[in-house]
Amino acid sequence: MKFSAKRHLIIGLLLLATAGTLIQCNMPLANTSIYYTDQNNNTFSISANSLEYNPILAEESSSGTYDGGEPATVSLSKEQFEAIRNGAVTLLEDTSKHSEKRQMMTAVLQLKTTDSSTRKILVKSSERAAFEALLIDAIDTE
pLDDT tens digits, 39-98 = 999 999 999 999 999 999 999 988 889 999 999 999 999 999 999 999 999 999 999 999
Catalogue all structural domains in the chain, each as residue range(s) with its CATH number. 5-140 (3.30.1560)
* Residue 4: band (very low, low, confident or very high) from pLDDT cuts 50, 70, 90: low
Average pLDDT over all residues of the chain = 85
3-state SS assignment for residue 76: coil
Q: Is 142 helix (H, G, I), strand (E, B) or coil?
A: coil
CA–CA gap between residue 94 and residue 14 (Å, rounded): 15
What's residue 83's pLDDT? 97
Give the closest residue to 46 by CA, choosing from 92, 101, 86. Answer: 86
What distance in Å separates the CA atoms of residue 22 and residue 117, rounded to the nearest whole number?
A: 19
Pairing of strands 107-112, 33-37: antiparallel
pTM of the predicted model over 0.85: no
DSSP 95: G
Strand, coil or helix: 98:
strand
Residues 15 and 83: beta-carbon distance below 8 Å = yes
The Cα–Cα gap between 106 and 116 comes to 23
